Amino acid sequence: MDIMLVGGISPMMRKLSLKLYKEGHKIYVLSGNRNPAERYEYAFERYDFPYDSASVEEVFRSVNPDVTILLGAFDGNLPGDDLRREAIQYAAGLQNILLSWAVLEKGRLIFLSSVEVYGNSYLIPVKESVEPEPRGIRSLMLFQAEESCDFYRKQLKRDVIILRLDRLHDVPRDQREAAWGICERKCLDAVQSGTISYRRNHKYGLTYMGDAVETIYKLIACEEHKYGLYHIASGKAFSEQKIADTIEEHLGRELEKIDNTLDDKKNVILANERIKEEFGFKIWCEPEETIEKTLSYMKKHSGKFLDRSSPGWDIWHRIYFKTRDLMGALVPYIENLIFFIPFFMLNNRATGSQYFSKIDFYLIYVLLFAVVHGQRQATFSALLATAGYVFRQMYNKSGIAVVTDYNTYVWIAEIFIVGLIVGYMKDQLNFIKEENEQEVDFLSERVTDIADINDSNLRVKEGLITQVVNYDCSLGTVYDLVEQLDKDNPLKILFHAITLIRNVMDCQDVSLYRIHTEHYARLFGYTSEKAASMGHTVHLPDKGPLYEAFSREEVYLNRTMDPQYPMMAYCIYEEGNMDMMILLWSIPFERMTIDESNRLTVISKLIQKAVKRSAAYLDLLRNERYQDERPALWPEEFEELISTYREAGAQNLTEYILLQVVSAEEGMENAGVTISNMLRVTDYIGYRNDGKLYILLTSTDRKDCGFVQGDLEQKGIRTVISEEMGL
C-alpha cells in the first residue's frame, strides 16, 4: 500500500516508519518543515511543505495514498516554546490536510491523539464513550483536532479512525527523544543531576511503544472496523513514585528523591476492551524492563544525554569542557594580540623612515580587525594600538608630556572613531545579509514547490518501472510454474510442489504437512532437517499462534522470532476443513511482508488446484488401482508408489520404510484388512511383483517403525524391513 505519514521526526515516526517498511509498504512523508538535518530513513519520498501550504493538495493528488496517518500528538513539529501560536498554526494546517485528503475520495485516515485530552482524574479505566475534558492549550488543540477528523467520518461518511494512545515508554536514542516519555524524562533527570521528583497521588497508564505500533498497524491493514475511535493502552496503572523507586533500583546508587505531592490528584488509565476485543492486544515489554534498558543505554552513551553543565560527568570531562569553552572565547583575543606584535614593530621602524613615517600602521591594524571581526574586536585592537602609540612616544618624551600632549588625544579619538564606525558597519552588513538570505529562501519556497513535486513524480515513476522490470517472481511466472504440475505424475505432484515452493519463495527450509481428523498434521515432505524440526506428527491446537492464524485463514508470520515456530506458514483449506499446511523456516525478517505472504497464498492456492485435479483423477482410477474390495494396491500401482517415494528419498524430500509381511496367523488374505485398520491414513499396503504383501510407512524413521512392528506382532502379523531410505 501507499501510505502517507504527516508529521515531523519523533520516536513514533521512526518506529512506525520502520514497521511499515518491514511490511513492504511504500512510505511518503509530509514533514511540515524544511529542515534538511532531519532524516526519514525509510521514506520512499519526502515532501518538505508546511501543513497550510497550497502545495499540500498537489502532494495528495500526486501520492494518492491508500492510508494517511496524521501523527498528531506525536508530531515532532509541535513541541516548542510558543504553544498558543503553534496550536493556531496546526489547526489551520490540519484543515488544509483534511480538505486535501477528502478531495481524493479514497483511502483511510488515521489520527493519533493522546490520553492528554482527559484533564480530570478518574477512579476507573476510561472508556471511549467518556467525553474528554481537556485542560491546557495542547490538550485542547488535540481535542479540536479529534473533532475535526470526526466531522469527516460522521458527516461525509469517510473512513476515519481516531486513536487515543496511552503514555508510551521506550528506550530513547538521544536527549531529544528522552523528552517524549515520562519514564525517559525521569531517567534522564536521574542520570544528569542525581535527583528525581515524583508525586505520590499521580498514576498513569504506561504502554510500550512497540505494542502501540503493532496495534496501529492492525488498524492500517484491516479491511474493516467497527468503530471510529479506539484507545490503545495497556490498561495497567503505574505511579510516579514507583517509577522513581524503579529508577533508583536499576541505577545502582542512591538518588535524591523530591516529593512534590500536592492536593491535585491525577489518575488517568485508558481502557482497552474495545481494541482488545476486535483486534487483540498483547504486552511484550513492561515499564520496569524499559527503565532498566534506558539507564544502561544512557550510561553507555553518556555523550548523547549529558550537557556540559551536568553533574553526572566525572571531573576530567568537566575540566575538558571548561577548558574548551575558555579557549573558544579567548581565541579571537589571542589572535588580536599576535597580530599586534608585527604592527607594533612596523610602526617603530616606520617612525624614523623618510618614506614610511607618514603611514599609520596602527590605523591599518584597527581597520583590519574591524572589517574582519566587527565592533567588539575593533575596540580591543584600538586599546592595544593606543597602548603601543603611548609607549613609542615615551622614547623621546616623558610620560607626563605624552599624557598632556593635545595630539595624543586627537590620535586616540581618530583611532576609536574610525574603528568603532567600521566595526558597526560590518555588524550591520552581516545582519542585513542574513535577513536578505532568509527573505530569498522564503520567496524561493513557493517557486520550487511545483518543481519538487514534478521531480518526485518522475522518481516514483522510474522506481515503479524498475520494480516491474526486475520482478522475477511475478504472478504470471508463478502461474506458469504451477501449471507444469498438471502435466506431472499425480503421485509426484506434492513432492514437486515442495521443490517449487523452495525455489519461488527462495527458502531452503520448507516442509509440507497433511492435516487429518482432530487437527493432527502428518509430515509429508521436507527439504532439510530444520524444516522437519516440528516433528512427524503435530497436534495443531497445541501450537497456539499457528492454530489461531490458520483458524482465521491468514498467513502466519513469526514476528516474535520464536525458534520453535516457522518464520512463515499457510494452511490450505478443502471444503471448509484444513487439508495441508506449508511451513517456511528460513525467511529473513525483512522479507516477512505483505508481498511475500500474498505470494505464498497465491502459490498455495495454485498448488491446491493441481492437487485437487490429481486426487480426482486417482479416485476415478480407484477400481483399477485396488484389488476388488480389499485395501491392498495392485502390484503395478504399488511399485509405482514405491518408486515415487524412493525418488523423493534420494532427493532428501522425505523418509520412508518398506515392511514385508512374512507371516500372519489369520492368513495373508485377511491380514490386509487387519493391517489397513491399524495403519495411518498416510501409509499404504500392497503387493509387489514377487506376489508378497508389503507395507509402505511414509514419513517414518526406524524408531517409529519399531512401534508399528510391535503392534502388528500383537495381532499375529510378523514383518521384516525390506527397504528404508538411505539403504
Residue 469 has pLDDT above 60, yes or no: no
Q: How far is CA 523 from the centre of its chain?
A: 36
Question: If we measure between CA atoms, which residue out of 371, 295, 307, 301 comes closest to residue 339?
Answer: 371
* Amino acid identity, position 311: P
**Same domain, yes or no, for 570 and 660?**
no
Average pLDDT over every residue of 77-81? 70
Say which residue, 217 or 598, is predicted with more confidence.
217
Kindly tell me if the per-residue pLDDT of 677 is higher than 60: yes
d(CA 170, CA 183): 8
- Asked whether the beta carbons of 282 and 276 are under 8 A apart, the reply is no
Q: Cell 539507564 maps to which residue? A: 295
Asked whether residue 643 carries a pLDDT value surpassing 60, the answer given is: yes
What's the order of all strands across the beta sheet hosting 556-557? 537-539, 520-526, 510-515, 577-584, 568-574, 556-557
Judge if 21 and 117 occupy the same domain: yes
| Residue 540 clears pLDDT 90, i.e. is over it | no
568: pLDDT strictly greater than 50: yes
Cα gap 696→646, rounded to integer Å: 11
Which CATH number fits the domain that encloses residue 127? 3.40.50.720
CA distance linking residue 3 with residue 43, whole number of Å: 10
Same domain, 370 and 514: no
247 part of a folded domain:
no
Of these ranges, 85-89, 211-215, 497-501, the one predicted with the greatest mean pLDDT is 211-215
Q: For the ranges 47-61, 282-296, 395-409, which has the lowest average pLDDT? A: 395-409
**How many of the other CB atoms lie within 10 Å of CB of 619?**
10
Beta-carbon-side half-sphere exposure of residue 656 (alpha carbons within 13 Å): 27
- Confirm whether 664 is domain-assigned: yes
pLDDT of residue 725: 53
Residue 282 inside a domain? The answer is: no
Query: Strand 2-6 vs strand 67-70: parallel, antiparallel, or unpaired?
Result: parallel
Nearest CA to 366 out of 336, 396, 390, 387 is that of 336
3-state secondary structure of 267: strand
Beta carbons within 8 Å of 611's beta carbon, 6+ residues apart: 493, 494, 497, 580
For residues 594 and 24, the answer to whether their CB atoms sit within 8 Å is yes
| Same domain, residue pair 552 and 648 | no
- The pLDDT-based confidence of 455 (bands split at 50, 70, 90) is low
Q: Tell me the three cell numbers of residue 350.
A: 616606520
Residue 143 pLDDT grade (very low, low, confident, very high; cuts 50, 70, 90): very high
The pLDDT assigned to 490 comes to 57
Residue 572: C-alpha distances to residues 74, 476, 546, 601, 683 (Å): 41, 21, 13, 9, 21
Res 622: pLDDT: 47
Regarding whether 150 and 10 lie in a shared domain, the answer is: yes
pLDDT for position 84: 76
pLDDT of residue 559 exceeding 60: yes
Instruction: Round to whole Å and give the CA distance between 50 and 93.
Output: 8
Of the three residues 620, 650, 671, the one that is the final residue of a domain is 620
481-519 tens-digit pLDDT: 656 665 555 566 777 778 888 887 888 888 888 887 677
Integer Cα distance of 576 and 5 in angstroms: 40
The Cα–Cα gap between 243 and 264 comes to: 19
Same domain, yes or no: 661 and 717: yes
The rounded radius of gyration (Å) of the Cα atoms in the chain is 39
Contacts of 373 (CB under 8 A, 6+ apart): 332, 423, 426
State the pairing for strand pair 160-165/195-198: unpaired
Mode of pairing for the β-strands spanning 577-584 and 510-515: antiparallel
Q: What average pLDDT does the segment 208-230 reach?
A: 92
User: Rounded CA gap, 356 and 30, in Å?
Assistant: 66
Considering only 75-89, 108-122, 242-256, 523-537, which range has the smallest mean pLDDT? Answer: 75-89
Number of Cβ atoms within 10 Å of the Cβ of 101: 24
pLDDT in tens, 570-592: 988 887 788 888 899 888 766 77
Residue 577, domain member (yes or no): yes
Whether residue 10 sits in one domain with residue 127: yes
Distance from C-alpha of 581 to C-alpha of 11, rounded to nearest angstrom: 39
On the question of pLDDT at 684 being above 80, the answer is no
For residues 680 and 648, the answer to whether their CB atoms sit within 8 Å is no
- Rounded Cα distance between 312 and 334, Å, is 32
Give yes or no: residues 645 and 541 share one domain. Answer: no
Q: Write down the pLDDT at residue 519.
A: 79
Query: What are 150-203's pLDDT values in tens digits?
Result: 999 988 889 999 999 999 999 998 888 888 888 888 888 888 878 888 888 888
- pLDDT tens for 335-388 read 888 888 888 777 777 666 656 666 777 788 888 888 888 888 888 888 888 887
- CATH of residue 553: 3.30.450.40
Same-domain check for residues 27 and 138 = yes
Domain assignment of residue 444, yes or no: no
Looking at residue 4, what is its pLDDT?
93
Q: Among 104-118, 263-277, 434-448, 660-674, which range has the highest average pLDDT?
A: 104-118
* pLDDT at res. 458: 64
Q: pLDDT class for 113, splitting at 50, 70, 90?
A: very high
Nearest Cα to 611, choosing from 470, 492, 462, 450? 492
Mean pLDDT, to the nearest integer, of 658-672?
70
Q: Hunting for cell 502388528 — which residue is that? A: 712
Question: Over the stretch 421-452, which tens digit does the pLDDT of each residue have?
Answer: 888 888 888 888 888 888 877 776 666 666 66
pLDDT given for residue 724 in this prediction: 58
Mean pLDDT score across all residues of the chain: 79
For residues 400 and 487, membership in a common domain is answered with no
612 plus 714 within the same structural domain? no
Instruction: Using the predicted structure, report yes or no on whether residue 649 has a pLDDT greater than 90.
Output: no
Q: Residue 6 has what pLDDT?
A: 93
Of 165-174, 465-474, 534-543, 669-678, minimum mean pLDDT range: 465-474
Q: Is the pLDDT of residue 470 over 50?
A: no
User: Which three three-digit cell numbers place residue 284?
Assistant: 511484550
Instruction: Name the burial class of residue 628, with classes exposed (0-12), middle (13-18) and buried (19+) by CB atoms within 10 angstroms of its CB.
Output: exposed
Q: How far is CA 283 from CA 213, 243, 355, in A?
A: 12, 18, 89
pLDDT greater at residue 349 or residue 630:
349
Cα(646)–Cα(534) distance, rounded to whole angstroms?
23
Residues of the chain with pLDDT > 90: what percent? Answer: 16
The string of DSSP codes covering 564-595 is TS-SEEEEEEETTEEEEEEEE----GGG-SHH
Inter-residue contact 384 to 332 (CB < 8 Å):
no
Q: Is residue 524 part of a domain?
A: yes
Structural domain of residue 715, as residue ranges? 622-724
Residue 726: the pLDDT is 45
Contact predicate 115/164, CB 8 Å: yes
Number of H helices, E strands in the chain: 23, 23
Q: 39-53, 451-465, 551-565, 668-682: lowest mean pLDDT where?
A: 451-465
- Fill in the DSSP letter of residue 305: T
pLDDT for res 208: 93
Q: Report pLDDT for 486.
A: 59
Q: Give the burial class of 681: count Cβ atoms within 10 A of its Cβ; 0-12 exposed, 13-18 middle, 19 or more buried.
A: exposed
C-alpha cell recorded at residue 361: 600602521
Domain end, chosen from 130, 165, 200, is at 165
Backbone angles phi, psi at 146, to 5 degrees: -60, -45
Does residue 454 fall inside a structural domain? no
Place of cell 477528502: 102
| φ and ψ of 573, to 5 deg | -100, 150
15-24, 625-634, 672-681: range with highest mean pLDDT: 15-24
pLDDT of 670 > 70? The answer is no
Work out the average pLDDT over 686-698.
Answer: 75
pLDDT number for residue 727: 42
| Mean pLDDT of the region 380-403 | 76
Determine if residue 397 is left, alpha or beta; phi over 0 gives left, psi from -120 to 50 gives alpha, anything else beta.
beta
Give the residue from 381, 388, 320 showing the smallest Cα distance to 351: 388
Report pLDDT for 558: 83
Q: How many structural domains compose the chain?
A: 4
For residues 108 and 86, the answer to whether their CB atoms sit within 8 Å is no
Looking from the CA of 288 toward its CB, the CA atoms found within 13 Å total 7
Q: Tell me: pLDDT of 604 over 80.
A: yes
616 and 521 together in one domain: yes
DSSP β-ladder status, 2-6 and 26-30: parallel
Task: Measure the CA–CA gap between 127 and 684, rounded to whole angstroms.
Answer: 60
Q: Is residue 272 included in any domain, yes or no?
A: no
Residue 349's contacts (CB-CB under 8 Å, 6 or more residues apart) are 356
pLDDT surpasses 60 at 619 = no
Q: Domain boundary residue among 385, 402, 434? A: 434
Report which of residues 353 and 78 the model is more confident about. 78
SS3 for 337? helix
Show the DSSP H helices in 470-568 as ranges.
475-483, 493-504, 544-551
